[in-house]
Amino acid sequence: EVQLVESGGGLVQPGRSLRLSCTASGFTSGAYAMSWFRQAPGKGLEWVGFIGTKAFGGTTEYAASVKGRFSISRDDSKSIAYLQMNSLKTDDTAVYYCTRSLVEVVAARSVSTYYYVDVWGEGTTVTVSS
C-alpha cells in the first residue's frame, strides 16, 4: 500500500525551529517529487514547498510566505523527506501534509514539467504559540 506518514509536529514557541519528517512506503520514493502543503485551522490549503527527484536535479521551490525560513531535503536511502522550519511564526500554525507528485513532461520548443499531487499523508499538527 502506498503510504506517507508525517511526524515531528507539536507545540513550539515563536522564533524556534522544528523539523518534520515524512516516511514513504509502498513505492520507490526516490522516483517521485515530494511536496509539503499546510492547512491552518478552519482555512483552505496552501502549498509550502517542493523537492524534485535527483533525476530532475533535486531542485527545491518554496512559497513566498516561507522562503528563507523553511527548507526541504530528502534521504532516498531511507525513503524520508524533511521539512526544516526555522524562525517559526504564529501564522505557521497548521496541519502540515507531505505529498507525492506525479509529473507530466511536455517537450515543445523547450521541456516543461507539470506536477500534481496523487498521494497525501495524514498530516501532522504544528502549533506555534508562546
Q: Which is nearer to other proteins, 13 or 59 (CB)?
A: 59
* Shortest spacing between CB 101 and other proteins, in angstroms: 8
Q: Which is nearer to other proteins, 62 or 82 (CB)?
A: 62
Which spans of this chain sit near other proteins (rule: CB under 8 A)? 35, 37, 44-47, 50, 61, 63-64, 97, 102, 104, 114-123
Q: Which one, of 67, 70, 69, 65, lies nearest residue 91 by Cα?
A: 65
| Alpha-carbon dihedral angle through residues 112, 84, 75, 55, given to the nearest 10 degrees | 10
CB 99 within 8 A of CB 115: no
* Shortest spacing between CB 34 and other proteins, in angstroms: 13
Here the cell at position 54 is 535527483
